[in-house]
Amino acid sequence: MSLASRRILLGVTGGIAAYKAAELARRLIEAGAEVQVVMTKGARKFIAPLTFQALTHKPVRSTLWDARAEMAMGHIELARWPDAIVVAPATANFIEQLARGSASDLLTTLALATDKPVFVAPAMNRLMWANAATQANVARAKKRGVRILGPADGDQACGEIGSGRLLEPTQIRDTLAAHFGDGPLAGVNVAVTAGPTREPIDPVRVLTNRSSGKMGYAVAAALCAAGAKVTLISGPTALPAPAGVLRVNVETADEMLKASLVAAKKARIFIGTAAVADYRAAQNARQKIKKNSDTLALRLTKTTDILCAVRAKHPKLLMVGFAAETEKLAQHAREKLVKKKLDLVAANLVGKGKAFDRDDNQLHLFWNGGTRKLRKAPKTDLARELVRVIAQRLTPA
């Protein structure tokens, strides 16, 4: 992802994730950006300014009371300098000040004094993030045009698990690159399906599967980072929508089909990562089915195949399907490629310890006349590799 010639002001606040800001600075510079770091007083307790100075080759700014800089109203000049401001990590306290419009230190003053886009990547304990006060402050900041990046789910420094982790530096970098429209899919409309579907049996029970949606959400984020305009049609998941993505929430296969046909009308690329139910109950009981016998016969009927339906309506779309298999991976993937008239199939083996409910995966790509294996890696990395292949298929060299 290119950030060539872009000026990025990187704000660092006082949280344990401040150490990741050094990696973010390095990634931004690798992408071609010029980086100026501004640290709060709390941030200096977690990581030394010298680290950032060595990476950026610029002195770190941290106070409004720098006599030399302020002789020429340096904070105003600094607010005008960047193409974007990104604060990572952003503490609950910083977000609260930002929402109030406070200017209590250099970083909050810069956020008020700029007319450039401000991106904020929260990092805090899961309960602090979920607290109603924090969510109200986030909502106020969003209303004022601040872009919120994340947070991610996972292990936290406090030993707890949940939402509140700082997004990975590469994700933040890619989101910035997408904002500037420098990616290989800049301006391309893409529709992505993700997650499971739920087919009701009665008002309480559903037919569903083990898909977490992580792969589909990673693909949506990678597409956005490549500059695409992404519509994510999602079955029920516990995942936050990737930054910059339009999410359409659905539950059943029929709802996903209808949303897919609408999104495909303006798309150039359609990617079906969702684990869509192949069958639904032939009759949805109006009342809860009681446990009155030792056995229960449930009659099922086929759902409409979404990829086939979209292809029939839009023969010129570049279409990518996913194939989750327990055996004969290559055979089934190639059959799917032909039967559903797809341009590319991303296949993977599923089962105990594979793919579902995991952060890593392994993909084998198939297209007419070609194949490529992607090594086992985090789903976010695989998504970026897949998007690169898709971009090449859309505009072959």
Digit-coded pLDDT (tens) for 334-372: 999 999 999 999 998 887 666 566 778 889 999 998 899
Q: For residue 348, which of 336, 335, 361 has the smallest C-alpha distance?
A: 361
Residues in the chain: 397
- How far CA 175 is from CA of 147, 149, 218, in Å, comes to 10, 8, 12
Distance CA 203, CA 200 (A): 7
More confident residue, 259 or 224: 259
The H or E element spanning position 229 is: strand 229-234
- Out of 158, 309, 317, 377, the active site residue is 158
Tokens 């050094």 — which residue? 22
pLDDT at 290: 92
Distance CA 233, CA 246 (A): 8
Tokens 């969702």 — which residue? 274
Tokens 């709802």 — which residue? 255
> Which phi and psi (to 5°) does residue 248 adopt?
-115, 115
Above 50 in pLDDT, residue 90?
Answer: yes
328 backbone φψ class: left, alpha, beta (φ>0; ψ -120 to 50): left
pLDDT at 397: 44
DSSP state of 47: S
Band of the pLDDT at 27, cuts 50, 70, 90?
A: very high
Q: For this structure, is 158 an active site residue?
A: yes
pTM exceeding the 0.75 threshold for the entire prediction:
no
Distance CA 210, CA 212 (A): 6
The C-alpha angle 146, 181, 394, rounded to 5 degrees, equals: 135
Share of the chain above pLDDT 90, in %: 63
Band of the pLDDT at 72, cuts 50, 70, 90?
A: very low
pLDDT at 71: 44
CA contacts within 13 A on the Cβ side of 236: 12
Distance CA 226, CA 53 (A): 29
Helix axes 169-179, 214-225, angle to 10 degrees: 50
Helix axes 132-143, 92-100, angle to 10 degrees: 50
Distance CA 310, CA 112 (A): 46
**Mean per-residue pLDDT, 42-49:** 93
User: How do beta strands 147-148 and 34-39 pair?
Assistant: unpaired
CA contacts within 13 A on the Cβ side of 345: 25
Distance CA 218, CA 181 (A): 19
Tokens 């610029």 — which residue? 58
By the 8 A CB rule, do 349 and 325 touch?
A: yes
Sketch out the chain's domains with CATH numbers. Answer: 7-179 (3.40.50.1950), 189-285+296-394 (3.40.50.10300)
The H or E element spanning position 311 is: helix 306-313
Tokens 């006599």 — which residue? 67
Tokens found for residue 41: 């007083």
